[in-house]
Amino acid sequence: MVFILNTTKNTVIAQKGVLADTFFSRMIGLLNRQSLLPGEALVITRCKSVHMLFMRFPIDAIFIDKNSHVVGLVERLLPFQFSRIFLKTSQVIEVPSGVIVQSRTALDDKIEIKQADN
């Protein structure tokens, strides 16, 4: 479990993030989920875009580079849509729709992903 913080704005993005860093976990993503609850997130490594094929709910996607700066934002990505490709992306954080606005996350903000305290 990981905790995700926008350190530029000092806002919490997610308290219960899960890391998708294997081929299988990256391939499955959120396909086996009915929804993302408030405070949940999926962090996908080695990812420059996302697709919503066969998804059941909208999400926000925060694209960050290798230095943990936001290089792309997609609000309310709907089922069966595709995000654009963000070439500088190292990881994408998938969160419930509305989190980008709620956390006031903007381009070039610094994001911290750390192990959550249990």
Q: Residue 113: which pLDDT band, with cuts at 50, 70 and 90? A: very high
Is 80 exceeded by the pLDDT of residue 116?
no
In this predicted structure, what is the pLDDT of residue 28? Answer: 86
In the chain, the percentage of residues whose pLDDT exceeds 90 is 86
CB atoms under 10 Å from CB of 100, counted, come to 22
- For range 20-30, the mean pLDDT: 89
Res. 10 pLDDT band, cuts 50 70 90? very high
* In the chain, domain spans: 2-115
At 118, the pLDDT band (50, 70, 90 cuts) reads: low
**CA quadruple 21, 37, 95, 110: dihedral sign:** negative
Q: What is the amino acid identity at position 18? A: V
* Residue 38 pLDDT exceeds 80: yes
pLDDT score of 117 more than 80: no
pTM: 0.95
- pLDDT tens, residue by residue, 93-108: 999 999 999 999 999 9
- Among the CATH numbers 3.30.2230.10, 1.10.10.10, 2.60.120.1140, 3.40.50.12780, which is that of 2-115? 2.60.120.1140
Q: Are 51 and 79 in contact (CB under 8 A)?
A: no
